[in-house]
Amino acid sequence: GAVVSQHPSWVICKSGTSVKIECRSLDFQATTMFWYRQFPKQSLMLMATSNEGSKATYEQGVEKDKFLINHASLTLSTLTVTSAHPEDSSFYICSTKKIAADPDTQYFGPGTRLTVL
């Protein structure tokens, strides 16, 4: 499998502040990265698809101005939660796909626990 890292692994912030989460693919180049959110005891919900060098594609109901995604290189995508509120508290997970590899197999990072006070 592929190695995907996320930083930070957990973060606590005050309401109204912005938080940046990094997702890195460590052993391969990833043109596409995905950002998911998981609330307690629920499934993983896709938030957006991040493509290197272009704008991210957001799922219905996800505010693109609130969840800013930047995919500046083939190994790094960032998710910034702007003006965070307590309802944004969740487990955020990124995943990557290898270039020209197994169809649609995604490799996930360890996740970032965000708590907004």
- Residues 6 or more apart from 58 whose CB is under 8 A from it? 47, 48, 64, 67
x-or-dash string of contact with other proteins, 72-101, rule CB under 8 A:
-------------------x-x-x-x----
Which of 4, 69, 79, 81 is the binder for other proteins (CB under 8 A)?
4
Which of 14, 43, 54, 60 is the binder for other proteins (CB under 8 A)?
43
Which of 44, 62, 68, 74 is the binder for other proteins (CB under 8 A)?
44
Burial code of 86-106, b = ≥16 C-beta within 10 A, e = fewer? eebbbbbbbbbbbeeeeeeeb
- Residues 6 or more apart from 73 whose CB is under 8 A from it? 52
Which of 19, 34, 71, 81 is the binder for other proteins (CB under 8 A)?
34
Binding site for other proteins (CB under 8 A): 1, 4, 6, 32, 34, 42-46, 49, 91, 93, 95, 97, 102-111, 113
